[in-house]
Amino acid sequence: MEEVVHARGHENVSAEHASTFEVTTDDYLTPAGDCILAIDADRAPSDFSREFVDACRDESATITAILETPDERVTITGSGHPDLAFENQRGHVGRTSTYVDDRTIMVDADAAAADLPRDYVTSLADGAPLTMTLRVE
pTM: 0.96
Residue environment code for 69-103, b if the CB has 16+ CB neighbours within 10 A, otherwise e: beeeebebbbbbbeebbbebeebbbbbbeeebebb
Query: pLDDT at position 12, please?
Result: 98
**55 falls in which pLDDT band (50, 70, 90)?**
very high
The CATH topology of domain 2-136 is Jelly Rolls (2.60.120)
DSSP 34-45: TTEEEB--S--G
Residues of the chain by 3-state class (helix, strand, coil), percent to 5: 15, 35, 50
Query: pLDDT at position 75, please?
Result: 98
88-114 residue pLDDT tens: 999 999 999 999 999 999 999 999 999
DSSP lists the bridge partners of residue 93 as 22, 104
Cα-based distances in Å from 84 to 49, 101, 121: 13, 7, 27
